[in-house]
Amino acid sequence: MESFRTEIENPVVEKDIIELEKKIRQFKGGEVDEEKFRSLRLARGVYGQRQPGVQMIRIKLPYGKVTSNQLLRISDVADEFSTGRLHITTRQDIQIHYVDLERTPELWAQLERDEVTLREACGNTVRNVTASETAGIDIDEPFDVSPYAQAVFEYFLRNPIGQEMGRKFKVSFSAADVDTGLSYMHDLGFNAKVQNGQLGFKIMLGGGLGSQPRHADELYAFLSTDKIIPLMEGVIRVFDRYGERKSRAKARMKFLLKDLGLDGFKALLEAEQQAIPHETYPIAIERYPQVQVANAKVPEVSITDEATYKAWKLTNIIPQKQKGFVAIGVKVLLGDFYTDKARELAHLVQNYAAGEVRLSLRQNILIPFVKEELVPFFYQELQKLDFAEPGYNKALDITACPGTDTCNLGIASSTGIAAELERVIKAEYPEYISNPDVVIKISGCMNACGQHNMANIGFQGMSIRTKDKLVAPALQVLLGGGNFGDGKGKFADKVVKIPSKRGPEALRLILDDFKATRHGSSLADYYEPKGDHYFYEFLKPLTQIDNLTAEDFIDWGNNKKYEKAIGVGECAGVIVDLVATLFLESQEKIEHAAEALSEGKWAASIYYAYQSIVNSAKALLTAEKVKTNTHASIIKDFDRLYVETGKIDFPEGFEVLALQLNQNKPTEEFATRYLADAKKVLVRLEAFRKLELEHA
């Protein structure tokens, strides 16, 4: 414990890490229920892995920005606590695998020495804030969205309103109208706009992927930058109170918005305005760190293969709006690289660029602020690291989640088929190395971490069963998805299900037909008039399963016969509620509320008190096996079953007491009074439960 204090200067972070260490000891000693502990560790970036006894650690890197020092620190941690492999996710995080649970507090403490956090990287929280990797350098952007993404990250980190929602909440920022932040598939998406000289955003609400993808609705065509944080706080408050909590399949924002309708959601949003502590929240962009480019001399370089160099420049050099600079795209196969290369890259950008890289939504690395005259030198240095492969953000650049490599929910290998498809493209379709028209994405299950259902060509891991009850790995082929810019996109259609080993042949058939009939169109335009039936017919021969060979029962990247093995998913941090645990949580919330009150954080104190009140009511309803799907239903059902029947006396009603939080401004006076109410509720409901048990 003492070692954490010597490494951490921030007392809030220190408390976080000590709490994690304490909970691990309690869990190991049998004092904390496994499901409760799961929720706590997920909110601290510690995720169960397919392999027993080890954890995946997700490192939260807002909008993918990583400084040289941070990359060096992450590399040191990955070597000491893991295998030295770093995995870039489709949400601009870095994951490391095979970490011992008991060492996670020490790992986190080391990361925090360079201001890198695990906090809320997993679980039912506001997840990593993503953004266009070209933010700040994009020649088409109206302004740099990076400071706004940073401000959102800072405001909602450890904010009680976003700690224990029914499901995760995802946010993105797009630098320009091409919408490389993919706002249309996020819970909340911000597209940079300028209106009458004022900076702001187009706001998209309620998008999502998964088994039932939903296109986000336009909430506002324009909202000034000082309104985005109050808006997001209101959205989360509504989601927290009215969002589903029991059924994971219905617990995302997209389902709530579908049920309420946009106008219904806006009405609830308006009802929350009194409780939000800021009507406006100006973001001080002048405090955002200024770019510092290294003043390095241009080393002498001799390019031996001019043709290869030109091919690389064609696909991997991105123009910058800053005169005299370019950005360099580094294609990272499946998002995986190792610490030896990471360290060299960190030193390279520190000494010859701006000392930072950006991780991309397509699992790559972008190096901004490279002086044009240094491009040959960078090419030479990146070649030494095997980081100079052409095809950045082109058809060859396939996105894939870890799938059955490490994920509990993986059904079929996504990394194995991705590697094979890249091999096929290189060998048989070299023109696609420099072609941006085809986007290929692969997920190992329906959850769409590989974003397969927004791709031009998508593959989803599945399984098939033969007449003899034999199970083989399979792929769902999806076609026709695409990002059309400015918050508009299309999700891919499910076309056909085939054995995994026929994935490469499916790709050949699609690309050959595309080449023969495209007439200069993009793949999305080529698909639309033909429709899924056309593609089903010519892919149908690949669906036959009465002619499977022994090879078809071995998944890509494996040498053993396929076995379908799906563990317990932890993407949402589901908690099995127990009455005693809920009352314990209520007491913890009261303690948090009291602490926040003493620190002058009125809004935070009020929300903790509200959570305690709802938890206490939920405890009694759970004991009676009453559904507790939403906070709103808990409050109403408690009134109906306990207050209206005279079992427990609340003169003005429980709902009136609980929902004081959105009827009052967050002042010290109200926070003090509301905390006292929460304490009374807990005492009375615990006493009622005790009497129930005594007379049972």
**CATH class of residue range 307-384:** alpha beta
CATH classification of 130-286, choosing from 2.30.40.10, 3.30.565.10, 3.30.70.1400, 3.30.413.10? 3.30.413.10
Q: Phi first, then psi: give them for residue 63, nearest 5 degrees.
A: 45, 25
pLDDT for res 399: 87
DSSP H or E run through 152 = helix 146-156
DSSP H or E run through 214 = none
Question: For the chain, which residues make up each domain, given as ranges?
Answer: 2-112, 130-286, 307-384, 399-553, 579-694
pLDDT for res 577: 39
Check for a shared fold between 130-286 and 399-553.
yes
pTM of the shown model: 0.90
pLDDT for res 5: 47
Q: How many CB atoms lie within 10 A of CB 600?
A: 10
Q: Which stretches in the chain have pLDDT values below 70? A: 1-9, 519-520, 565-578, 696
Q: Does domain 2-112 have CATH number 3.90.480.20?
A: yes
Burial class (CB in 10 A: 0-12, 13-18, 19+), 263: exposed
Bin 615: left if φ > 0, else alpha if -120 < ψ < 50, else beta.
Answer: alpha
Contact 423/440 with Cβ under 8 angstroms?
no
Residues in the chain: 696
pLDDT for res 661: 92
Q: What is the rounded distance in angstroms from the CA atom of residue 136 to the CA atom of residue 144?
A: 4
DSSP string over 30-66: T-S-HHHHHHHHHTTTEEE-SSTT-EEEEEB-GGGEE
CB neighbours of 440 closer than 8 A, spacing ≥ 6? 395, 398, 399, 421, 455, 456, 457, 458, 459, 507
Q: Which CATH superfamily is domain 399-553 in?
A: Sulfite Reductase Hemoprotein, domain 1 (3.30.413.10)
pLDDT for res 520: 66
Residue corresponding to tokens 């890198």: 116
CA-based nearest residue to 442, from 393, 397, 382: 397
pLDDT for res 111: 94
Structure tokens of 336?
Answer: 């995986």
How remote is the C-alpha of 436 from its chain's centroid?
Answer: 25
Amino acid at 84: G
Q: What is the three-class DSSP state of 332?
A: coil
Q: Phi first, then psi: give them for residue 327, nearest 5 degrees.
A: -110, 150
CB neighbours of 32 closer than 8 A, spacing ≥ 6? 23, 26, 40
Q: What is the rounded distance in angstroms from the CA atom of residue 528 to the CA atom of residue 434?
A: 23
Residue-wise pLDDT for 120-142, tens only, equals: 998 889 999 999 999 999 999 99
**CATH class of residue range 579-694:** mainly alpha
Distance of CA 187 to CAs 163, 252, 338, Å?
16, 8, 32
CA-based nearest residue to 482, from 460, 453, 511: 453
pLDDT for res 566: 55
Residue corresponding to tokens 């696609």: 432
